[in-house]
């Protein structure tokens, strides 16, 4: 059909037949169809098509065939509305009406099927909630784990203690001898023992605090050390081969029971098989003192009496206000407890920490390597004197010997350093003078303050904006992801919820 020749588009003819065109236009179209054979045939086609389509009849609704209507009629509006109440009892209460209706096939009554239908979402309820709570739990867990990952794991005292015990157990009982550490007053001559349980009474300064020492090579002692209730496992580094001199150095305050225990245990110690405990001890004290000057003098006195030295000392603060002093004090390991006791008396104790790091394993390793290196040196020397005839061989051996000796020297230095660290304990001391507010009579500068405030304000505004941007960058993808994951379940649940709530509201509105 050539549409251009026609006043009306074929679509318009169709719309006219569908009753969509009214008024003048409809009249014009009616006239045109009468005159134009093409449009008339088109209209006929459309009419016959609609006629043909009517042939597709559908059987009457099975909902009507069943006594459904009676089911609905038996309901009052309140009951029908009540069917949407969430409690099943009200639904169950409605069911007798359905039972009275004759059962015809699957659909005995519209009411029962409606009720079935209404109940169906509620059966899904637990699943919905389970899914939602699972999502929520997952979300919380993932957020928490994100937070946890950012916090560096701190080592607990207990874990370090158990680690100590493990090293101890794993260690072979053939530790080599080491020389006497300088300045410690203790010496090791192939005889070693360890004290596995040491309790320290820090308040008694005169006492060196060793109340009980059990030198025992069994594993039980090692495990006893683990469950020790002290904040830190403390071990002493004691030479039992020279018991006389050692005991003589003990302060007078040492309990006699300790002496007797020492005396009995010393004999039983098989020193060749007991690994030595080498512990770098550290302590930190935080005190509040009344007078900083007096306290400082006292500290220096303590330092001198215990043969220690200051690795570092800083004082801060104005003379009137509360001053602070931070010092790093090093004292011989066996005088640590006495020193700590004296320091505690300087003022009010705010905080105290003690720690120990075991370096026995490192020490043993180093010694073994040193021994090997010495053997190598000896063999090389032998080789040089007996075997090497050619000049090239001599040079090679010499070179090798030189590098071995260098290594030996380095290891010896390391060993000395380690022993020194073990023999000297370090104390981090923080003193704070009691706060005495001082009256400052100088008038505060007012001119610069608004400007400073403005600058600070600008700075904090800029920082908070930047913080927001950073936060969005950092957390944005996570939030977006979870929103995406949770959006559809949430929307679905919202719809379900609304569908359940709406009829209730409608009931309220109707009554």
- Burial class from Cβ neighbours inside 10 Å (0-12, 13-18, 19+) for residue 141 reads exposed
Among 117, 129, 435, 494, binds another protein (CB under 8 A): 117
C-alpha 499/C-alpha 84 separation (Å) is: 9
Residue 365 found at the interface with another protein (CB under 8 A)? no
Binding letters toward another protein, positions 21-50, x by CB under 8 A: ------------------------xx-xxx
For residues 215 and 269, the answer to whether their CB atoms sit within 8 Å is yes
Nearest distance in Å: CB 40, another protein = 16
36, 68, 210, 215: residue in contact with another protein (rule CB under 8 A)? 68
CB of 163 to another protein, least distance (A): 56
- Element (DSSP H or E) covering residue 328: strand 324-332
Rounded Cα gap, residues 461 and 452, in angstroms: 14
Q: Kindly state whether residue 123 participates in binding another protein, applying the rule CB under 8 A.
A: no
Least Å distance between CB 43 and another protein? 12
Token digits for 323? 């001053």
Residue 69 touching another protein (CB under 8 A):
yes
Opening angle at CA 125, ends 120 and 129, nearest 5: 165
CA distances from 475 to 144, 146, 462, 482, 490 (A): 13, 10, 20, 11, 21
Query: Looking at 13-21, 227-235, 357-365, 473-481, which segment touches another protein (CB under 8 A)?
Result: 13-21
171 contacts: CB under 8 Å, gap ≥ 6: 275, 360, 361, 364
The answer to whether 359 contacts another protein (rule: CB under 8 A) is no
Q: How many Å apart are CA 279 and CA 426, to the nearest integer?
A: 12
Q: How far is the CB of 19 from another protein (least distance, A)?
A: 8
Q: Which stretch binds another protein (CB under 8 A): 89-97, 244-252, 338-346, 497-505?
A: 497-505
Binding mask 444-483 for another protein (x = CB under 8 A): ----------------------------------------
Report the residue number, 47 or 304, with the smaller CB distance to another protein.
Answer: 47
Select from 33, 35, 42 the least CA-distant residue to 10: 42
In order, the DSSP letters of 183-234 are TSS---SS-----S-----TT-SSS----------SHHHHHHHHT--SSS--
* Binder of another protein out of 2, 22, 52, 319 (CB under 8 A): 52
Residues found near another protein in the complex (CB under 8 A):
10-11, 14-15, 18-20, 45-46, 48-53, 55-64, 68-69, 72-73, 75-80, 84, 107, 110, 113-114, 117-118, 499, 502-503, 505-506, 509-511
């Amino acid at each position: 059909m050539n549409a251009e020749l026609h006043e009306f588009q074929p679509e318009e003819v169709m719309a006219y037949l569908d009753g969509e065109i009214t008024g003048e236009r409809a009249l014009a179209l009616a006239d045109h169809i009468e005159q134009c054979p093409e449009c008339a045939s088109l209209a006929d086609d459309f009419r016959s098509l609609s006629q043909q389509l009517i042939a597709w009849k559908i059987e009457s609704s099975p909902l009507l065939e069943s006594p459904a209507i009676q089911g609905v009629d038996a309901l009052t509006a309140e009951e029908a509305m009540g069917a949407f109440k969430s409690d099943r009892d009200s639904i169950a209460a409605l069911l007798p009406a359905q039972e009275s209706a004759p059962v015809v096939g699957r659909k005995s009554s519209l009411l029962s099927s409606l009720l079935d239908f209404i109940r169906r979402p509620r059966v899904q309820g637990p699943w919905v909630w389970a899914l939602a709570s699972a999502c929520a739990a997952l979300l919380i867990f993932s957020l928490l784990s994100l937070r946890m990952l950012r916090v560096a794991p701190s080592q607990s005292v207990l874990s370090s203690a158990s680690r100590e015990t493990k090293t101890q157990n794993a260690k072979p009982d053939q530790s080599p001898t080491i020389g006497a550490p300088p300045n410690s007053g203790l010496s090791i001559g192939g005889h070693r023992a360890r004290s596995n349980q040491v309790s320290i009474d820090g308040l008694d300064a005169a006492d060196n605090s060793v109340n009980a020492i059990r030198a025992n090579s069994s594993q039980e002692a090692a495990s006893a050390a683990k469950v020790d209730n002290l904040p830190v496992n403390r071990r002493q580094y004691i030479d039992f081969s020279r018991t006389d001199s050692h005991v003589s150095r003990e302060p007078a305050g040492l309990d006699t029971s300790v002496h007797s225990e020492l005396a009995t245990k010393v004999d039983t110690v098989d020193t060749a098989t007991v690994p030595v405990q080498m512990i770098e001890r550290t302590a930190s004290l935080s005190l509040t003192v009344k007078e900083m000057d007096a306290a400082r003098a006292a500290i220096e006195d303590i330092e001198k009496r215990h043969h220690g030295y200051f690795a570092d000392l800083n004082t801060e603060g104005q003379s009137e206000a509360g001053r602070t002093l931070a010092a790093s004090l090093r004292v011989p390991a066996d005088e640590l407890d006495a020193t700590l006791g004296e320091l505690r008396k300087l003022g009010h104790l705010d905080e105290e920490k003690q720690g120990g790091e075991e370096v026995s394993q490192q020490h043993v390793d180093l010694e073994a390597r040193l021994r090997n290196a010495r053997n190598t040196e000896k063999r090389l020397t032998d080789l040089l004197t007996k075997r090497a005839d050619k000049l090239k061989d001599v040079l090679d051996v010499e070179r090798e010997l030189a590098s071995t000796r260098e290594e030996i020297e380095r290891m010896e230095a390391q060993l000395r350093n380690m022993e020194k660290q073990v023999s000297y304990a370090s104390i981090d001391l923080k003193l704070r003078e009691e706060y005495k507010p001082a009256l400052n009579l100088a008038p505060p500068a007012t001119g610069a303050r608004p400007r400073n405030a403005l600058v600070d304000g600008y700075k904090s505004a800029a920082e908070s904006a930047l913080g927001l941007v950073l936060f969005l960058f950092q957390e944005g993808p996570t939030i977006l992801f979870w929103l995406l994951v949770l959006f559809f379940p949430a929307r679905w649940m919202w719809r379900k919820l609304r569908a359940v709530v709406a009829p209730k509201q409608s009931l309220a509105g109707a009554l």
